[in-house]
Amino acid sequence: MNDVRFSKFLLFTNALVPLVLLLWDVYHKRVGPNPPEFMTRTTGMLTLVFLMITLAVTPARKITGWNSLIKYRRMLGLFAFFYGFLHLMTYVGFDRYFNFRSIPGDVLSRPFIAFGMTAFLLMAPLAITSTDKMVKRLGGKRWRSLHALVYAAGIAGALHFWFFVKSDTRLPLTFAFILLLLLAHRLFVRFYPPVIDGEVSTTVR
């Protein structure tokens, strides 16, 4: 097994560790008096964490020069979507009791649900088009334009968290600050691209 495959294997197994620990705590009844709320909060937090890590890959690659980091961005993004899907399922199962007809009305009546649903719907096409075949089918430019929606998903996710917690907003503000820094880096590189071998780089990924 070469270094990249082994590194991806390590990333894959470690990304599943939080889920294993969550299920372990649920099984041993270590999730407090309200297990559904604990599961919802945990999966939502994991979604934002993996989303922020995914967005941090490109700045980290550009700052450190470790171009190999880009090879792990897809898997990180898919785990963000995976935990987002689990977060959605906790809402559908524990809050709506799989009554799908009640979801549209709930989305319209509760802002934090609307922002959360928006974030998930923005992430869905990014997960679907993450394969090499979809990159070739869409073309590099169109694919990059589509995947810029990840920042909109991050904003919607941070707002979802903000409206959800209501009182203690320190964590939502932390995620929002990190997202602001990552977005600022992207805009800076776009409007002030680095000079490479005497030529201005026009690629922003």
Query: Mean pLDDT throughout 112-131?
Result: 96
Phi, psi of 170 (to 5 degrees): -65, -45
What's the pLDDT at 1?
A: 44
Tokens read off for 38 = 């604990």
Q: How far apart are CA 19 and CA 30, in angstroms?
A: 14
Query: Mean pLDDT throughout 100-106?
Result: 96
What's the pLDDT at 195?
A: 58
Q: Is the pLDDT of residue 75 over 80?
A: yes
For the question of whether the overall pTM of this predicted structure is more than 0.85, the answer is yes
What's the pLDDT at 52?
A: 96
Give the DSSP per-residue string, the chain: --HHHHHHHHHHHHHHHHHHHHHHHHHTT-S-S-HHHHHHHHHHHHHHHHHHHHHHHHHHHHHH--GGGGGGHHHHHHHHHHHHHHHHHHIIIIISTT-GGGHHHHHHH-HHHHHHHHHHHHHHHHHHT-SHHHHHHH-HHHHHHHHTHHHHHHHHHHHHHHHHHTT--HHHHHHHHHHHHHHHHHHHHHHSPPEETTEE-----
Length of the chain in residues, anyone?
205
What's the pLDDT at 3?
A: 80
Q: What percent of the chain has pLDDT over 70?
A: 93
Q: Is the pLDDT of residue 202 over 80?
A: no
Q: How far apart are CA 65 and CA 55, in angstroms?
A: 16
Phi, psi of 127 (to 5 degrees): -70, -40
Query: Mean pLDDT throughout 136-160?
Result: 93
CA nearest to 156, candidates 108, 107, 121, 106: 121
Q: What is the pLDDT of residues 7-48, one digit of tens each?
A: 999 999 999 999 999 999 999 999 999 999 999 999 999 999
Q: Categorise residue 194: left if φ over 0, alpha if ψ from -120 to 50, beta otherwise.
A: beta
CA of residue 166 relative to chain centroid, distance: 22
What's the pLDDT at 196?
A: 54
